[in-house]
Amino acid sequence: EAGVAQSPRYKIIEKRQSVAFWCNPISGHATLYWYQQILGQGPKLLIQFQNNGVVDDSQLPKDRFSAERLKGVDSTLKIQPAKLEDSAVYLCASSLLRVTEAFFGQGTRLTVV
């Protein structure tokens, strides 16, 4: 079974630029998560989807971050404009509904200079 796919793996941008990350969850997984992992910290949930609806986006900085999950499959996370403090690894994960285990992608490492 294919795992969670993320792209790109690495991205370097200047502050105030925009950037987008893409995630393809495991086939059939209704729940999709985006996490932000700053160096030396644990992952922090940014947004959680069930199919194409948002379950939780309480920690998403909505003035600059946006995410969508069209057709309940792939998802895109966007940052516009980026700030230096957005430098982090962005992890995507997915899980089956009513199953506790989430599967993680390899992440996208963003560096804002």
Partner 1 sequence: AQSVTQLDSQVPVFEEAPVELRCNYSSSVSVYLFWYVQYPNQGLQLLLKYLSGSTLVKGINGFEAEFNKSQTSFHLRKPSVHISDTAEYFCAVSDSFTSGTYKYIFGTGTRLKVLA
Q: Which residues lie near partner 1 (CB under 8 A)?
A: 4, 30-31, 33, 40-45, 48, 50, 55-56, 91, 93, 95, 97-98, 100-107, 109
Nearer to partner 1, 84 or 97 (CB): 97
Cis upstream peptide for 61 (omega within 30°): no
Smallest separation, CB 81 to partner 1 (Å) = 27
For partner 1, which is the closer residue by CB, 55 or 113? 55
18 vs 59 by CB, closer to partner 1: 59
Return d(Cα 62, Cα 76) in angstroms, integer. 14
